[in-house]
Amino acid sequence: MKKGSYGQGTGLAALIVMLLCAGLLAQCAKPQPPATGKDQLVAALDAAFIRILASGTWREITKPLGPLVVNMADCYPTPDEAPFPENPSGALADIINNKKIRVGSYPDKYSGSFNAYTEVNEQLLRAMLDELGIAYKLTAPIEIERVYIDPPSSSTLFTRLNEGAFDISDLNSALGGVSNSQRRRSMARYTCTIFGSGWFLQVKENSSYKSLDDFRADTKAKLCSGMLSSQLGKDYFTNQQVVSQYENDIELCGQGVLDGTYDAYLHFDPAPVKSGLRSIDTGIASGVPYWVAGGEDE
């Protein structure tokens, strides 16, 4: 053995051990989704939603938005049929014991139609968490800790949800959508649909389009969408050119239809956003649940 080789070898070995330990510590420090209680968490959120639906609280909160909100009715207002889980464990137990829930959210700094539902989203979650507090006899309200995904990305949101970065998503990913090249419902758990919205094509008053079929038949048509309608537009209008305006979509898409840049604006409000426009009901509605991490519930 050459002089000094032993010291060099032990030094290298020590360095490798240190790096391995550092890697393991980093992995351990990274949030991990609870191994149990995810199904219970979904059941508890459903039970809470059903109670605010049955009591009229849901209607009271959503009423100011009028036709922008519809009850998808995939969970009926039947509290007796939806008990809160007994003996909470894992994910649900953590929320109850800590009186805190981590919610994966998008920041509300974006303009246009993006924030139309922000206030209602917050009020609905607060009402549901208060129902959880009543059910489990908590002495203080469950605190909401928001974990922001910026820039907004459903793929990032579902990745971080399944990594354990937060307990549930906010109301920001429709049930029917795709993220990370997978159907969302195949990679995460989901609650009752908390609310839905219809979708409308806003076109010029003198446009030749009278129906959804008329528009879809025009393969040269250009459709403008906002952040909330981007994926739905691209998936439903595969033969049209879809342009997404992620900032100030109401102004840019509405004016763009009027000046001929676009042939239609896909929006959730049946009321025309500009004078000189009219709306075509597409007959399409989409809804948002709360998402809970996928994987086994051991």
Concatenate the DSSP letters of all residues of the chain into one string: --TTHHHHHHHHHHHHHHHHHHHHHHHHHS----SS-HHHHHHHHHHHHHHHHHHTHHHHHHGGGGGG-B---SS-S-GGGSPPPSS--HHHHHHHHHTEEEEEE--S---GGGGTTHHHHHHHHHHHHHHHHHHTT-SSPPEEEEEE-SS--HHHHHHHHHHTS-SEE-S-S-TT-EETTEEHHHHEEE-S--EEEEEEEEEETT-S--SHHHHHH-TT-EEEE-TTTHHHHHHH-TTSEEEE--SSHHHHHHHHHHTTS-SEEEES-SS-SSTTEEEEEEEEEEEE--EEE-S---
Banded pLDDT at 95 (limits 50, 70, 90):
very high
Banded pLDDT at 30 (limits 50, 70, 90):
low
Compute the distance between CA of residue 136 and CA of residue 86 in angstroms, rounded to an integer: 9
Compute the distance between CA of residue 284 and CA of residue 198 in angstroms, rounded to an integer: 6
Compute the distance between CA of residue 169 and CA of residue 121 in angstroms, rounded to an integer: 11
User: Which amino acid appears at position 214 of this protein?
Assistant: D
At residue 33, the pLDDT reads 72
- Residue 8 clears pLDDT 70, i.e. is over it: no
- Residue 199 clears pLDDT 70, i.e. is over it: yes
- Residue 58 clears pLDDT 70, i.e. is over it: yes
pLDDT tens for each residue of 166-195: 999 999 999 999 999 999 999 999 999 999
> Would you mind telling me the total number of residues written for the chain in this entry?
298
Compute the distance between CA of residue 237 and CA of residue 207 in angstroms, rounded to an integer: 18
- Which residue segments constitute the domains of the chain, with CATH numbers given? 38-196+287-293 (3.40.190), 198-286 (3.40.190.10)
Higher-scoring residue by pLDDT: 9, 60: 60
Banded pLDDT at 24 (limits 50, 70, 90):
very low
CA distances from 263 to 14, 204, 243, 252, 255 (A): 67, 8, 11, 13, 11
- Number of neighbouring beta carbons within 10 Å of residue 126: 13
- Residue 3 clears pLDDT 60, i.e. is over it: no
The rounded mean pLDDT for the chain is 91
At residue 29, the pLDDT reads 54
Compute the distance between CA of residue 199 and CA of residue 201 in angstroms, rounded to an integer: 7
pLDDT tens for each residue of 211-265: 999 999 999 999 999 999 999 999 999 999 999 999 999 999 999 999 999 999 9
At residue 22, the pLDDT reads 47
Average pLDDT over residues 82-90: 97
Q: What's this model's pTM, rounded to 2 decimal places?
A: 0.88
